[in-house]
Structure 1
Amino acid sequence: MDKSAGQKSATQLLYPPIEPFDKRMLDVGGGHQIYVEQCGNPGGIPVVVLHGGPGGGCSPAMRRYFDPKEYRIVLFDQRGCGRSRPHASVDDNTTWHLVRDIELIRETLGIDRWVVFGGSWGATLSLLYAQAHPERVAHLILRGVFLMTRAELDWFYGGGAGQFWPDLWSRFASMIPLDEQSDMIGAYHKRLFSGDRMLETRFARAWAGWENALATIDHDGPVGEAPADYARAFARLENHYFRHQGWLEHDQQILNNVPLISHIPATIVQGRYDMVCPPAASWKLSERWSRAELRLVPLAGHALSEPGITAELIRATRAVQRQAGLLGF
C-alpha cells in the first residue's frame, strides 16, 4: 500500500471529478428502466462498476477510481434504486435479473470484454456475473467480498457483529419484539413491506443505520439518519435479496464455481477489520483461486471511502491499465 495513503483522505487519492459523456435509461423488461452512464475515454479500457447494497446506487465518486484518459467507465443503478425506476420495487428484481441486465448493458454499448469492479454486494454480483459469462470478463477487481452464505447473513443479522457493537445491536434489535428476534431478516421484512409508508421508512432507516454505523473504522457509533427515499430503497432491496439468500442454488455456490473463472486474473482488496463482510470470505475465495491476489489492508474496515481501501483499489486499476495489452485491450 502507498505509505502516504494514511496521511491523505480518500478524496485526495482519487482522480479529479468527471462528468459522463453519455447518460441513458435502458429498458430491461419487467417494467424496469435502469440508469446507465459512461465516463472517461470512449475508446479506453472498458470497466463496469457494480455498486453495493443491493440497493445502494452508484455515485459520482465511483467514477474517480479510474484514469479517465485510459478507461471507458460504465456505471449503472441496479433495479429499484438510485435513478432507476420504479424506485424501491422488488418485482422482477432478483440476482439473475441483474446478471442479465449487465449483459444487456454490455451488448447495448458494443463492448466485447471488460474489467468488472465491485465491492460488498457488488463483489457478489461481479463473481456471479463472471461465473455466468466468463468469456466477457478480462479482470476482476473486488472489495470487501460477500459470498451470500447463511453464515455471513447470520454474522450480521444474527448477533455476531453485535458482540463487537452491543450498543448499536441493542438499538437495531429493540425495534423488533423479543419473540421475533430469532429471525431479524424476516421480522424486518414484515415491517419494510407493510404497505404503511411511514412505518416502512422508520424501519428502513434503522436497517440502513445498523449497516452504515459498522462500515468504517474511522468513526464510532451512529452516523445519522439516511434520507427517507434512499433508506427505503436500500433496506427493502437488501432485505428482499437476503431473505431469498440471493436466489443461489446452494449455500456455497460461488466458492464451488470458482473453477469457472479460475483463468481470469483478479485483485481482492479487503479491510482487515471489516465488520460487515469479515475477511474470511476473501481468504476462502483467494485460497481456491490461484490467479486472485488478496490484499489485506491493515486498520481498514468495509467502506469504499476509507483511505487504505481507496489507495489499494487505485493501485489495482493502474496495474490493470499497465497490463492492457496482455488482457487483450
Structure 2
Amino acid sequence: MDRLADRKNAAEFLYPPIDPFDQRMLDVGDGHRIYVEQCGNPNGVPVVVLHGGPGGGCSPAMRRYFDPSHYRVILFDQRGCGRSRPHASVEANTTWHLVRDIEAIRTTLGIERWMVFGGSWGATLALIYGISHPDRAAALVLRGVFLMTQAELDWFYGGGAGKFWPDVWARFTSLVPEDEQTDFIAAYHRRLFSGDLVQETRFARAWAAWENTLASIENTGAGGGESPAEYARAFARLENHYFTNAGFLEEDGWILKNAGALRNVPGIIVQGRYDMICPPTSAFALHKVWPGSDIRVVAKAGHALSEPGISAELVRAMDRYRADAAMRRLA
C-alpha cells in the first residue's frame, strides 16, 4: 500500500456520489420483500454488492467503489434490515435464504454472470454464494474476511478481542449477570428476543457499540457512538440470530472445506493488518486454499470499509478488473 493513503480520508479514493437509475422492492417469498437498486452504467459489467452484518444494510457510499461508466452496480438490503421488510425479522432468514435471494435478483435483472463484492459478513456470503454457484460468480472482491467459524466467534465474543480493548469489553459484558457470562451470544440472545422493546433496544445498542468501536484503528476506545434504535435492533438481532445458528452451515469450517469449488473463480482479498473483528488469519487461511486469489494486506488499517487504505485497495481492485478482458465480456 502506498503512503498516499496515510494522508487521505477514504472518500478521496472513491468515485463521485451517484444516484440509482433503478429502485424496487422485490418479493422473494416467505413474507419478505427486499430493497434492490441499480446504479452506474445500465449496460456495464454487473457487480452485486453484499453488505455486512448480517443486518447492516447497504448505503450510498457503497456505490462509489466502482467506475460508474464501466460497472452496473447492484446493491440490496438483505432480509430483515435496511429498507427490506419486515424489519428486524428472523423468520425465514438464513444464509441459504440469502443465497436464494441473490439468485432471484440475478435472474430478475436478466444477468447471466456477475462479479461479487462484499466485506465482513458480506465476504462470508460472497464465498458461500460463489461456492454454491461458481458458474455465476465471475470474480470475488472481498474485504475483512469472516469464515463463520466457532474460533472467530470465540475470539470476538469470548474475550479474545477484549484483551486488547478491556474497557470496551467491560461495558459489553457488564450488562449480563455473572452466572451467564460463559456464553455472551446466548445471554444477549435471550434479551434481544425477549419481546420487551425497551430491553431489546438497550441490548441491541450495546451489541452494536462493541463491534462499531473496534471497527477502525482510528477509534480511541471512547466508544463507537450510539446507533439509532431501529438500525441497532435489526443489526444486533440478525447478527445474533446467525451466530447462534453458526451461520446455518452444515459444519464448522464449511467454507474452507468447500473452497475447491472456487478453483476457476478469480478473486482479490483486501485485509487490514490490525483488523480486530476479523483477524487476518482467516484471510490467509482462505488464500491458502483458493488458488485463484490474490491477497492485499493493508498495513495501517483495521476492519472498516471506511478505512482510507481499505477503500484505496478496493477501488484499485475494481479498476484492475475494469481492464481485464474476461471481465469486460460480462457487459
TM-score after normalising by structure 1: 0.99
The separation in 2 between residues aligned to 1:174 and 1:3, in whole angstroms, is 40
Q: Are the aligned partners of 1:176 and 1:187 in contact in 2 as well (CA < 8 Å)?
A: yes
Secondary structure at the counterpart of residue 82 of structure 2: coil
Does 2:255 align with 1:254?
yes
Aligned to 1:8: 8
Moved over 6 A (4+): none
Could you say what the CA RMSD is over the residues aligned between the two structures, in angstroms? 0.8
Q: How far does residue 324 in structure 1 lie from its aligned partner after superposition?
A: 3.9
The 3-state SS of whatever aligns with 1:134 is coil
Unaligned runs of 5+ in 2: none
SS in 2 for 1:200: helix
SS state at 2:3 partner: coil
Instruction: Report SS of the residue matched to 1:314.
Output: helix
1:76 aligned partner:
76
Instruction: Measure how far apart 1:184 and its partner are.
Output: 0.3
How far the C-alpha of 1:327 sits from its partner, in A, is 6.2
1:94 aligns with 2:66: no
Q: Distance in 1 between matches of 2:300 and 2:179?
A: 38
Does residue 266 (structure 1) correspond to residue 267 (structure 2)? The answer is: yes
Q: How far does residue 290 in structure 1 lie from its aligned partner after superposition?
A: 1.4
Whether 2:292 is the aligned partner of 1:291: answer yes
Q: Measure the CA separation in 2 of the matches of 1:200 and 1:113.
A: 40
Amino acid at match of 2:293: A
- Structure 2 CA distance, aligned partners of 1:306 and 1:324? 30
Say whether residues 1:193 and 2:193 are aligned partners: yes
> What residue number does 1:175 align with?
175
Percent of aligned pairs sharing the same letter: 68
Partners in 2 of 1:324 and 1:93 — Cα distance? 37
Please give the per-residue CA displacement for 1:132-190, whole angstroms capped at 9, x wherever unaligned.
10000111000000000000000000000000000010110010001101010000000
Deviation at 1:43, TM superposition (A): 0.4
Distance 1:284 1:177 in 2: 36
Q: Aligned equivalents of 1:3 and 1:173: distance in 2?
A: 38
How far apart are 1:223 and its partner, in Å? 2.0
Q: CA deviation at 1:326?
A: 5.4
Conserved? CA contact 2:321–2:327, under 8 Å: no
What is the total number of aligned residue pairs between the two structures? 329
Deviations 1:205-229 (A, max 9, x none): 0000000000000121202100000
Q: What is the distance in 2 between the residues matched to 1:254 and 1:92?
A: 22
What CA distance in whole angstroms lies between the structure 1 residues aligned with 2:103 and 2:6?
A: 37
Quick one: distance in 1 between partners of 2:106 and 2:2? 33
1:208 aligned residue: 208
User: Is this contact kept in 1: 2:66–2:315, CA < 8 A?
Assistant: yes
Per the alignment, residue 147 of structure 2 pairs with 147
The separation in 1 between residues aligned to 2:105 and 2:272, in whole angstroms, is 30
Q: 1:99 to 1:284 in 2, by over 3 A?
A: same
For 2:230, the equivalent position in structure 1 comes to 229
Equivalent in the alignment of 2:314: 313
What are the within-5 Å matches in structure 2 for residues 36-47 of structure 1? Answer: 36-47=36-47
In the alignment, which residue of structure 1 is the partner of 2:107? 107
Instruction: Write the letter of the residue equivalent to 1:154.
Output: D
2:118 corresponds to:
118
Shift of 1:3: 3.2
Look up the equivalent residue of 2:99 and give its one-letter code. Answer: V
| CA distance in structure 2 between the aligned counterparts of 1:233 and 1:326, rounded to whole angstroms | 35
User: CA shift at 1:289, angstroms?
Assistant: 1.2
Rounded Cα–Cα distance in structure 2 between residues aligned with 1:131 and 1:285: 13
AA in 2 matched with 1:305: S
Aligned partners of 1:126 and 1:325: how far apart in 2?
A: 20
Deviation digits for residues 247-269 of structure 1 (CA, Å, limit 9, x no counterpart):
10000110011110111110000
Name the structure 2 match of 1:243.
244
Structure 2 Cα separation of the partners of residues 324 and 104 of structure 1: 27
Instruction: Give the aligned residue type for 2:98.
Output: L
Aligned-partner Cα distance in 2 for 1:69–1:323: 15
Shift of 1:12: 1.1
